[in-house]
């Protein structure tokens, strides 16, 4: 049976330009195109997990403005339940300014989570039954820490599996990390949280050991060109990066987390989920955009089989 995933995190509207190169301070570049669409790490991860086939309930906070319609219109089209969306009567819906280099597929992002930085204790209290009844709680760092830590406390006390994607990088107290079941940083975030500079797979092993020492039960580190690494404290695995034609790497980490969580929700072990995240992330970079670039379940299963030579067994 599929486990229930609750995602508490950000929705923001992505305002994305595409051009050759990325500007340096003081430089103006002429862009090739502009696109406005749904984004935010939390929402992107929920969309990725939903398209991958997971049963996801999304909690985020929007303003009372036109950007909020970008979220609700998109969720309605996707068939994602909007009934747990929170609204802030004063603050705006968040935005992200994204610049994508059409030559390298790399990006630069400034995100302003706005309403998502003002989730109150009362908001989280109202979501308590939902969080307590979840099997997996998926979290990131684009909401205020008071709300994040309260949700972690509730989930931990209820025995819910907590998956924390600590992005964008910020420090958090060790006592909070100790309640996390699976942490999924990239190499920069891993360095920020452990103090270990992650440039090689051996470094990733050292960073993972530091997380495990802090009480995190499982560690997954996405390593860009090197692939993705996981450790459960006994076994460590590196899945090499999958070769695809990358056009836009924005949201690749979100796709990874969505695919990873879908596999966990279907009862797969950490290392099968790692492969599923790897496949989902790779597919997402082959098309532009963030939430709209998330692959379907059929695409994930087919590419999984192609890459790993065995089916992703359906649950
Ligand atoms: O991870 C990519 C996301 O980060 C973008 O969608 C943008 O909104 C920022 O939050």
Confidence at residue 194, expressed as pLDDT on a 0 to 100 scale: 96
* CA distances for 236 relative to 16, 210, 269, 271, 274, angstroms: 37, 14, 13, 9, 11
Cα–Cα nearest to 192, from 175, 210, 213, 205 = 210
The answer to whether the CB of 12 is under 6 A from ligand 1 is: yes
* CA distances for 138 relative to 45, 51, 65, angstroms: 8, 16, 26
User: Considering the entire predicted model, what is its pTM?
Assistant: 0.97
Q: Give the distance (Å) from ligand 1 centre to CA of residue 252.
A: 10
Confidence at residue 216, expressed as pLDDT on a 0 to 100 scale: 98
The answer to whether the CB of 22 is under 6 A from ligand 1 is: no
Confidence at residue 26, expressed as pLDDT on a 0 to 100 scale: 97
Q: Where are the beta strands (DSSP E) in the chain?
A: 4-8, 12-19, 33-39, 55-59, 61-63, 86-88, 93-101, 107-114, 136-139, 161-164, 182-183, 218-222, 228-231, 236-239
Confidence at residue 313, expressed as pLDDT on a 0 to 100 scale: 80
Locate the ligand 1 atom nearest the alpha carbon of residue 142 and give its number. 10
135 is catalytic: no
Whose CA is closest to atom 2 on ligand 1?
A: 251
Locate the ligand 1 atom nearest the alpha carbon of residue 98 and give its number. 7
Residues of the chain with pLDDT under 70: 314-315
Confidence at residue 239, expressed as pLDDT on a 0 to 100 scale: 98
Confidence at residue 105, expressed as pLDDT on a 0 to 100 scale: 87
């Amino acid at each position: 049976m599929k486990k229930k995933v609750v995602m508490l995190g950000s929705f923001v509207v992505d305002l994305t330009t595409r051009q050759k190169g990325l500007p340096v301070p003081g430089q103006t570049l002429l862009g090739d195109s502009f696109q406005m669409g749904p984004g935010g790490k939390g929402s992107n991860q929920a969309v990725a997990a939903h398209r991958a086939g997971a049963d996801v309930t999304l909690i985020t906070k929007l303003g009372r403005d036109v950007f909020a319609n970008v979220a609700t219109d998109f969720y309605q089209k996707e068939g994602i339940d909007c009934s747990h969306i929170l609204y802030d009567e004063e603050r705006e819906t968040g935005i992200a300014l994204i610049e994508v280099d059409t030559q390298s597929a790399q990006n630069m992002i400034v995100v302003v989570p706005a309403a998502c930085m003002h989730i109150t204790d009362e908001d989280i209290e109202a979501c308590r039954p939902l969080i307590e009844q979840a099997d997996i709680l998926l979290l990131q760092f684009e909401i205020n820490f008071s709300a994040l830590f309260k949700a972690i406390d509730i989930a931990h006390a209820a025995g819910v599996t907590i998956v924390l994607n600590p992005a964008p990088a910020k420090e958090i107290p060790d006592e909070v990390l100790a309640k996390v079941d699976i942490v999924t940083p990239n190499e920069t975030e891993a360095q920020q949280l452990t103090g270990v500079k992650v440039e090689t797979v051996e470094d990733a092993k050292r960073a993972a050991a530091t997380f495990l020492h802090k009480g995190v039960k499982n560690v997954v580190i996405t390593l860009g060109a090197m692939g993705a690494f996981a450790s459960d404290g006994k076994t460590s695995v590196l899945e090499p990066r999958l070769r695809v034609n990358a056009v836009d790497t924005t949201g690749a980490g979100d796709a990874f987390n969505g695919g990873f969580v879908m596999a966990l929700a279907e009862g797969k072990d950490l290392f099968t989920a790692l492969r599923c995240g790897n496949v989902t992330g790779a597919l997402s970079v082959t098309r532009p955009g963030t939430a709209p670039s998330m692959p379907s379940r059929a695409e994930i299963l087919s590419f999984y089989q192609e890459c790993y030579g065995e089916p992703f067994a359906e649950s």
